[in-house]
Structure 1
Amino acid sequence: MRRPGALPPVRAWPWWAQVLLVAALARLASAVLLVLVARHQAATPWAGAAPSYPEYVGLFWDGSWYREIAELGYPEELPLGADGRARQNAWAFFPLFPTLVRPLLAVGLPWQVAAPALATLLGAAALLVVHRFVGEVVARSRWAAGPARRHLPLVTVAVVATHPAAPVLQAAYTESLALLLVAATLLALVRHRYGAVLLLVPLLGLTRAVALPMAFVVLVHGLDRVRRVRAGEPFPVRERALVALTGAVTLASGLLWPVVVGLATGEPDAYARTQAAWRGRDGVVPLLPWWDVARYLVAGAAPLLLLGVAIGLLALVAWPRLRRLGPVAWGWVAGYAAYLVVVLEPGTSLVRFSLLAFPAAAAAAGAALAPPGRLRRALGVAALLGLGLAGQALWVWSLWRLVPPSGWPP
C-alpha cells in the first residue's frame, strides 16, 4: 500500500508523463555533457573560450545561420564570389524554425535562450508523437502480447532520446521540429487521416529537405491499402483520391523551398547552387560524392567500402524487425535512406541525419526486448542506452567542439 501523499510508481504514471520524464532525463544528461565539453572549447567566431551553455547550444554551427535568418532575414540576391559561383549563404537553411523563434525574440529573449528553449520543447513534443506512432503500429500489427508489445513505445522513446546526436534536440537546429513533423505525418498516414498529412507535409517542406522521401512513404502506404482490399479491407474511392492528392502534395512540398529560393532571388537554380557552395563543386551531383569520399578515405579500397555500405543499407531495409513495424515505418526508413544516398555528400553529419530514421530505433528496441527473461531484456535495453550515451560523449567532443580554425560539422 502506498503511503498517503507519496507519488505513485513511475510505471503507474500516464504514458505522456513517462515520456516527458524520459525526455527530461535525456536532455539533462546531454546538457551535462555539453557543459563539460564547453569548458574545453577554444574561442571561435561564435563565442569566446569556454562558452556558456546557452551560447554553446544557441550560437554554434548552423545555429548562427538560423539566428541570422531570424534577426535579419534572407539576402535579396544570391551572394556570389569573384568567380561567379554562389557563396555559402542563408538560402541553404529552411525558414520555419527561425520563423517560430521570432515571436520569442520580439518579447525580448535573446536568440541563444529562445532558440534552444523552443527546440527542447519541440523535441519533447516529438517524443510524445514517436510514442503514439510506435504504439499505433504495434496495435495494428500481429505482435503477441508480452513485454515487447507493452514496453516498445517507451523504450523506443528512450533510444531516440539518447541517440548519439540527440544533443541537437536542445540546440538551435531544426532536428526537433523535423522529428515532430515526420512522426506526426507518419502517425496521420497510419490512421488514414489524409487531411492532416496535407497540412503537415508543406510545413515539413519548409523545415528540412526531407519531404521528398515522404512521397515514397505515401506510395508504399497506397500500395499497401490496395493490397489489403483483396483481404476485404475497404478502400473507398474518396480515400483513394485523397491518397493520390497526398502523394502529389508531398512531392510538391519537397520542391517547395527550392522554388521559393528561385523566385526570391530571380535565379531558378539558386538553391542548388547554394548547396554546391558547401560541397566545393559546380553543382549537386547524385551518387558521385560517395565515390569521391570513399576514395579520399581508403583510396583503392573504395569499392569494398561502398559495397559494405550498400550491404549494410540493404540489411537494414530487409530487417524483419523493421518490416514488422508495418509499411509506413518501413517505407520511411527505406525512402529516407535511399534519398540520403542519392542527394547527400557523405560526412560526419550523417550521424545527425540518422536521428530522423526513428523507426529503426523502434526495431532495435524490439530486438532488445525480444529475449525471454526480465534480466536479459533489461540488460539489452541498458546496452542500447549506454551505447547511445557513449556515442553522445564522442559526438559532442569530436564534432560539436570546434578546434579552430576548422572542423568537421556535426
Structure 2
Amino acid sequence: MMLVLAAQQDQNAWTAAAPRYVDFASMWDGRWYNIVAVAGYPAELPLTDDGHTAENAWAFLPVYPLVVRTVMILTGAEWAVAAVAVSVLAGFGAALVTYRLFREHLDAGTALFGVVIFSVAPVAPVFQVAYAESLHLLLLSLALLLLVRRRYGLLMPVVVVMGFTRPSALAFALLLGLHLLVRIVRRDREPFASGELPLVIGATLLSGLVGLAWPAVAWAVTGSVTAYTDTELAWRSVYIGYQHLIPFTPWFQGFEWWFGRPLGWIGVILLVAGFAVALTSRPVRMLGLEVRLWLAAYALYLLAVFFPQSSTFRLLVPFFPFAGAIAVPRSRVYRTTVVMGSIALQWLWLLVAWRVDGYDWTPP
C-alpha cells in the first residue's frame, strides 16, 4: 500500500514526486525527528509573526531519534533507511511481547489472533514509518508484561526510557498508583512479597517524575516555564487559535469545532460512556485487571490533554490491548471480516492522513 501511494505521490514539502519508499515513509513528523537527530533542540523558542510559540522540535521526545542516530553512526545508513529499519524492527519486537502479554490471560490461539489484529490494525502502517510509535509500543508492552508479572525492579528502567520516547509516563504513573491501591486492598489475597511495596511505590513516583521531566528540560534550556505546553498547543492553533491548556477541555473544544454545539459536547459524553461500557465487557475483562487499568489511565490522560484531530487516530495506538479482546470470538466469518475490515481502514487512514494532497491539513 505504501509503495502504491508513493508511486502516485506528487511533489510536496518533504519529497519529490514518486519518492522512494523510505523517503515516503519518512514524511510528516519524521522530518522533526530527523531534525532532533542531527541538530538537537532549539535554545530559543521560534515565534510566529504575532508573537506566539511556533511549531518546533520540543514536541518530539529524544529516545527514538537518538536510537536512529546511533544506528546511522554504526552502519553509515542515511536517516530515512535507519529510521524505517528501527521502526520495523521495534514493531516486530512489540508484536512478540504483545503475544506474551496476551498469553498471561488468553489461550494461545486467541493470543495469536490478537497479534494478527494488532498487526493489521487501521493505523498499523505507522509501525513502518519514521515515527516513535513502534519503539514506544515495544517499551509499553514490555512495561505492561513486567507489571503483570510483578517484576517491579525491572519495570523502572523501562518506564524511564518509555517516558522519553512518547508522552505516556503520567498515564503509566496513574496506572501504577491504581495498581498500588488494588494491591493494598487485596493484600489478604495477594500479600506483598518481601521488598515489593517500596518497589511499587518507587516505580509509581519515578513514572510521575519522568512524566514531568521533559517539560522541565524544555524550561531549563529555553528559559520558558511553558515551553513544552506552548509548543504542543501550537499544533492545535490552526483549529481554535492560541489558547491556554485547561485539562479536560480539549475534546469538548475539538468536537465543538468539528460538529458544533451542543452536538459536539453530546458526542464527547457518548464517547466516554461507550468507552466505559467497553471496559466492563467480558472480552476486555479477560485481559486482566492491570491491562484494563492501563486502558482507563491512558483514556483519562488523552481526555485531559489531547485535542482531537487527524493525528488522534495515531494516538490511539497505546490502546493496543483491545486487540486481545477483539480476538476472543472464534467465528471464522467474524475473524475474516475483522482482518479484511482492518486492511480496508488502513487504506482509508493512508489516503486521508499519510498521503499529501496539495495543502494537507490532516497530518497523521
- Counterpart of 2:102, as a letter, is V
In the other structure, the counterpart of 2:23 is 55
Question: In structure 2, which of residues 338, 341, 352 is the aligned counterpart of residue 387 of structure 1?
Answer: 341
Structure 1 position 257 matched with structure 2 position 214: yes
**Distance in 2, Cα, partners of 1:228 & 1:380:** 38
Q: Which digits, 9 at most, give the CA deviation of each residue in 1:195-223, with x for residues without a partner?
A: 11111111111111111111122123223
In the other structure, the counterpart of 1:114 is 82
The answer on whether the counterparts of 1:120 and 1:169 sit within 8 Å (CA) in structure 2 is yes
DSSP 3-state at the match of 1:346: coil
What does residue range 204-283 of structure 1 map to in structure 2 within 5 Å? 204-231=162-189, 233-236=190-193, 238-280=195-237, 281-283=242-244
DSSP 3-state at the match of 1:151: helix
What does residue range 144-223 of structure 1 map to in structure 2 within 5 Å? 149-223=107-181
Q: Which digits, 9 at most, give the CA deviation of each residue in 1:252-279, with x for residues without a partner?
A: 1111211111112122211011111112
Structure 1 position 397 matched with structure 2 position 354: no
The answer on whether the counterparts of 1:163 and 1:355 sit within 8 Å (CA) in structure 2 is no
**Distance in 2, Cα, partners of 1:276 & 1:253:** 21
**Distance in 2, Cα, partners of 1:177 & 1:199:** 15
TM-score calculated relative to the size of structure 2:
0.94
**Distance in 1, Cα, partners of 2:161 & 2:183:** 25
**Distance in 1, Cα, partners of 2:336 & 2:181:** 38
- Counterpart of 1:382, as a letter, is T
**Distance in 2, Cα, partners of 1:181 & 1:288:** 29
* Higher Rg: 1
Q: Which digits, 9 at most, give the CA deviation of each residue in 1:363-392, with x for residues without a partner?
A: 1111x23xxxxxxx2222212211111110
- Counterpart of 1:336, as a letter, is Y
Q: Which digits, 9 at most, give the CA deviation of each residue in 1:297-353, with x for residues without a partner?
A: 222422332232122222222222212211111011111111111100011222111
Q: What is the Cα deviation at residue 225 of structure 1?
A: 2.3
Please tell me the root mean square deviation across aligned C-alpha atoms, in Å: 1.5
In the other structure, the counterpart of 2:11 is 43
Q: Which digits, 9 at most, give the CA deviation of each residue in 1:140-160, with x for residues without a partner?
A: xxxxxxxxx231221111111
In the other structure, the counterpart of 1:356 is 318
The answer on whether the counterparts of 1:160 and 1:355 sit within 8 Å (CA) in structure 2 is no
**Distance in 2, Cα, partners of 1:265 & 1:161:** 40
Alignment identity in percent? Answer: 35
Question: In structure 2, which of residues 267, 270, 277 is the aligned counterpart of residue 315 of structure 1?
Answer: 277
Structure 1 position 343 matched with structure 2 position 294: no
In the other structure, the counterpart of 2:37 is 70
What does residue range 367-382 of structure 1 map to in structure 2 within 5 Å? 368-369=329-330, 377-382=331-336
Unaligned runs of 5+ in 1: 1-32, 139-148, 370-376
Which sits farther off after the overlay, 324-333 or 172-181?
A: 324-333
**Distance in 1, Cα, partners of 2:324 & 2:183:** 23
The answer on whether the counterparts of 2:250 and 2:304 sit within 8 Å (CA) in structure 1 is no
The answer on whether the counterparts of 2:44 and 2:222 sit within 8 Å (CA) in structure 1 is yes
**Distance in 2, Cα, partners of 1:110 & 1:205:** 26
The answer on whether the counterparts of 1:137 and 1:190 sit within 8 Å (CA) in structure 2 is no
The answer on whether the counterparts of 2:291 and 2:321 sit within 8 Å (CA) in structure 1 is yes
In the other structure, the counterpart of 1:97 is 64
Q: What is the Cα deviation at residue 400 of structure 1?
A: 0.4
Q: What is the Cα deviation at residue 237 of structure 1?
A: 5.4
TM-score calculated relative to the size of structure 1:
0.84
The answer on whether the counterparts of 1:94 and 1:207 sit within 8 Å (CA) in structure 2 is yes
What does residue range 73-88 of structure 1 map to in structure 2 within 5 Å? 73-88=40-55
Unaligned runs of 5+ in 2: none
**Distance in 1, Cα, partners of 2:338 & 2:269:** 27
In the other structure, the counterpart of 1:29 is none
